[in-house]
C-alpha cells in the first residue's frame, strides 16, 4: 500500500469514527392532531360550529354568507321580548297579529301571559304567537322589526337584517351562520330562553283558563339528553335551518346550519365529531 492509499484509508476511518459518535436522529413524531377524527363532510349551504367557553371554531363553511334564516329569526324576537317586558305581563292578542296561523290556532282577543306566548314561539315555532309578541312589544310589526335591526346593530351582526319578526322569506331578510351563533350565545344568557329551548313538551293556557294547549318541540335532537336546544326553521327558500346546542363534560358546542340536508342525522354526526375533537385536544 502506497502513501496515498494509506492516507485515504486513515481518512475513511476517522470519518466512520466521527459519524458513529454522533447522536442518532429520531424522526419527529406525528403531531397530536393526526389522531383527531377526519373532518366530516358538510351538506349545507352554510355552517358554523363553535365551543362557546373557549370560542374555538371547530367547523365552518361559508359562515359569513347571507342567507334566509327562516324561523331562527324568532331567537331575536324572543330576546327583545324578554329584554323589554316582564314574563308575567298579560298580552291580549291583537287582531292584526293573526296573519299566519299555526297548528295551535291562537285567536284575536285571547289573553296569554307573555311567558306562554314566548314559550309557544320557541318550543313549537308558532307564528301567530310570534306575531302577537311583536305587536304587543312594538305596537305594530314594523316598529318591532326596527327594534330587531337596532338590536342586531348593537350586537355587531354586520351581515344580518330583518324584514319580519318570524322568519318568512322576504327581500332584505337575511343572516349568516356566524351572526346567528353570536345572537344565540347572547340569547342563551337569558335564563327563561335557555330553559325553553331545551323543553320537549309544555302546556300553556289562556289567562282565564278557558283554553289549554299542549306544545311539542320541533327539535327532534332533544331526545338526546346532552342536547339542550336551540331552534329549528324551514321555508321553501331557506330550506331546513337548525341551531343545536350540546353540553357535555363542561363543554358547550353550538352548531348553526342553514339549508341543511338530512338535518337530524347530519347534525347528530357533526355534534359527535365536535365532541370528539374537544375530548382529544383536552386529553
Catalytic residue numbers read 71, 74, 125
Please give the sequence-ordered ranges of beta strands (E in DSSP) within the chain, or none if there are none.
Answer: 44-51, 56-61, 90-92, 111-113, 201-205, 212-216, 227-235, 239-248, 251-260
Long-range CB contacts (within 8 A, 24+) of 241-244: 241/69, 241/70, 241/71, 241/72, 242/267, 243/72, 243/75, 243/180, 243/181, 243/184, 244/219, 244/271
Report the 10 Å Cβ neighbour count for 150: 11
Q: Which helix (H) or strand (E) holds 109?
A: none
Cα dist. 9→4, 14, 247 in Å?
A: 9, 9, 71
CA atoms within 13 A on the CB side of 94: 15
126's grid cell:
308558532
> 100 is written with which cell numbers?
299566519
Residue 128: all three cell numbers together:
301567530
Q: Hey, CA dihedral for 199, 202, 206, 209, is it positive or negative? A: negative
235 upstream amide cis, omega within 30 of 0? no
Amino acid at each position: 500500500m502506497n502513501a496515498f492509499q494509506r492516507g485515504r484509508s486513515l481518512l475513511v476511518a476517522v470519518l466512520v469514527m466521527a459519524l458513529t459518535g454522533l447522536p442518532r436522529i429520531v424522526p419527529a413524531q406525528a403531531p397530536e392532531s393526526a389522531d383527531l377524527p377526519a373532518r366530516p363532510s358538510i351538506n349545507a349551504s352554510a355552517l358554523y360550529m363553535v365551543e362557546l367557553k373557549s370560542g374555538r371554531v371547530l367547523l365552518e363553511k361559508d359562515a359569513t354568507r347571507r342567507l334566509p334564516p327562516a324561523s331562527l329569526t324568532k331567537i331575536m324576537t324572543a330576546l327583545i321580548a324578554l329584554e323589554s317586558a316582564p314574563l308575567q305581563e298579560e298580552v291580549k292578542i291583537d287582531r292584526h297579529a293573526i296573519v299566519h296561523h299555526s297548528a295551535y290556532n291562537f285567536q284575536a282577543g285571547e289573553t296569554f301571559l307573555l311567558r306562554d306566548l314566548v314559550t309557544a314561539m320557541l318550543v313549537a315555532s308558532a307564528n301567530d304567537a310570534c306575531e302577537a309578541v311583536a305587536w304587543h312589544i312594538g305596537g305594530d310589526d314594523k316598529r318591532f322589526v326596527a327594534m330587531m335591526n337596532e338590536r342586531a346593530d348593537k350586537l355587531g351582526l354586520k351581515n344580518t337584517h330583518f324584514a319580519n319578526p318570524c322568519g318568512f322569506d322576504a327581500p332584505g331578510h337575511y343572516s349568516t351562520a356566524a351572526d346567528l351563533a353570536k345572537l344565540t350565545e347572547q340569547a342563551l344568557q337569558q335564563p327563561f330562553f335557555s330553559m325553553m329551548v331545551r323543553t320537549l313538551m309544555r302546556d300553556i293556557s289562556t289567562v282565564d283558563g278557558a283554553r289549554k294547549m299542549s306544545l311539542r318541540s320541533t327539535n327532534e335532537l332533544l331526545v338526546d339528553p346532552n342536547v339542550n336546544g336551540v331552534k329549528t326553521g324551514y321555508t321553501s327558500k331557506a330550506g331546513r335551518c337548525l341551531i343545536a346546542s350540546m353540553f357535555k363534560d363542561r363543554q358547550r358546542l353550538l352548531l348553526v346550519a342553514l339549508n341543511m340536508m338530512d338535518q337530524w342525522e347530519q347534525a347528530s354526526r357533526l355534534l359527535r365529531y365536535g365532541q370528539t375533537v374537544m375530548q382529544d385536544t383536552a386529553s
